[in-house]
Amino acid sequence: MRYCLHNTKKRLQSGDVTPSNMNFVFHNKFPKSASTTLNYILLGLARRNGFNYEKINSGNIANSIQEDAPVIYFVENNFKPPYLLLKHQFWVNFTGRIPYEMRPTYINMIRDPLDWVTSRYYFNRYGWVRDPGCRGEGCSMSREEHEMSLDECVEKKLTLCTRPSPYFPYLCGPSSACYDHRKDLVYKQTRQRILDEYYFVGILDHFEETLRALEVLLPSYFGGAVEILKGEQIQKKMKLTRTKNKKKMNEKTRQYYLNGPLKYEAKLYNFAKKLFKERLDFLGIPITTTTDD
């Protein structure tokens, strides 16, 4: 079913939003959006609340975040309700390809695309506080490229920073409509996907409030999440998984992204954040914290 923004707001305000399947929740996580911290929290919640939890690492199944079939096959062979699955994955279309009772309730958490690009840029070069060192493309760079700040990279218009990794497909999917060169159309497609397919999309900048909302919306899975978040063990792990040597971009770089490569990604983020705040208002959850990576 397709919903327009106006009708979605009415549904949120009236509370007329329910999970499509309480026996299966799928968080197809964005990279660099607190998924490591969330994994630690979910391990504790699974023991506390008695649900089956799995985190699929890239090497567990076919190593592609773009393909639907390996994920569908994995679910068919591992589904044990109540079941929560966490994986870096573009949105997967389960409709017509799996029994109805195995089709998930989708949730996700996104972050400001400018912060996302910044975090990925420095993470590829320096890794985490707990595990420093290059990752992926960061290991094949020249010394000059490796030591270059994001601002310097943008100033020199290098492809390392002027062609950011795909943002839309995590919420939109791997279809051609989600990769169209017309980003205005991809934005509209992704916005519609959020309205039609996602039960809840949280915001990394407000991680605690995201968990508070999930405690209310999916209590059999997330009940007690904030208590675990505030525990000494998780707080320590959060400090250790922050991106090492990350630098805040300057205003010139910020405007470059907002008016260029990330214009529509920022528009989508602002749309999702507006929906998030509408949801929190209905749930009576105030925004009091900001998360830093």
pLDDT of residue 31: 84
pLDDT of residue 288: 84
Tell me the residue length of the chain.
293
pLDDT of residue 63: 57
Among candidates 135, 129, 39, which has minimal Cα distance to 88? 39
Separation CA 137–CA 290 (nearest Å): 30
- Contact assessment for residue 91 and residue 177, using Cβ atoms and an 8 Å cutoff: no
- Contact assessment for residue 108 and residue 129, using Cβ atoms and an 8 Å cutoff: no
Separation CA 234–CA 225 (nearest Å): 11
Chain segment 136-167, per-residue pLDDT in tens: 777 888 889 889 999 999 999 999 899 999 99
Could you give phi then psi for residue 111, rounded to 5 degrees?
-130, 160
Among candidates 130, 84, 107, which has minimal Cα distance to 29? 107
Count of beta carbons in the 10 Å neighbourhood of residue 72: 16
Q: Which amino acid is at 235?
A: Q
Residues 6+ apart with CB under 8 A from 262: 113, 114, 117, 164, 167
pLDDT of residue 66: 85
Separation CA 73–CA 89 (nearest Å): 14
Averaged over successive runs of 10 residues, the pLDDT of the chain (293 residues) comes to: 60 71 95 90 98 85 79 93 95 92 96 95 85 80 90 95 93 92 95 95 96 98 97 88 89 98 97 94 88 64
Separation CA 259–CA 249 (nearest Å): 15
Could you list the beta-strand ranges (E) of 64-186: 83-88, 105-110
Count of beta carbons in the 10 Å neighbourhood of residue 95: 9
- Record the pTM: 0.91
